[in-house]
């Protein structure tokens, strides 16, 4: 029980879980006729908006930092004082 587990980089497991859960929801909760599909568009729009709000901004910041190579030293220079690490 004292072993530590490294969960970083388990993208394969995450993909499998996403596919299984999506299949489950589609299989048992998918609308049956076109009227139900029309109402499902509102739910889908809500889920997309929620995803964009929860992950869109943080993901954008993460990608900007990765591509612009923003480091702690650069932020210290931007604020004009050294960082205490």
Q: Are 39 and 31 in contact (CB under 8 A)?
A: yes
Residues 6+ apart with CB under 8 A from 73: 83
CA distance 40 to 23: 16
Contacts of 31 (CB under 8 A, 6+ apart): 37, 39, 40
Residue-wise pLDDT for 18-47, tens only, equals 778 778 877 787 778 877 777 777 777 777
Please state the pTM of the whole predicted model.
Answer: 0.37
pLDDT of residue 4: 59
Does an H or E element contain 4, and which?
A: none
């Amino acid at each position: 029980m004292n072993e530590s587990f490294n969960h970083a980089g388990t993208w394969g497991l995450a993909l499998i879980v996403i596919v299984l859960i999506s299949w489950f929801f589609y299989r048992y909760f998918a609308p049956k006729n076109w009227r139900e599909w029309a109402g499902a568009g509102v739910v889908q729009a809500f889920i997309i908006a929620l995803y964009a709000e929860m992950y869109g901004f943080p993901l954008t910041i993460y990608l900007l930092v990765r591509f612009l190579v923003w480091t702690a030293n650069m932020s210290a220079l931007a604020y004009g004082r050294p960082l205490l690490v």
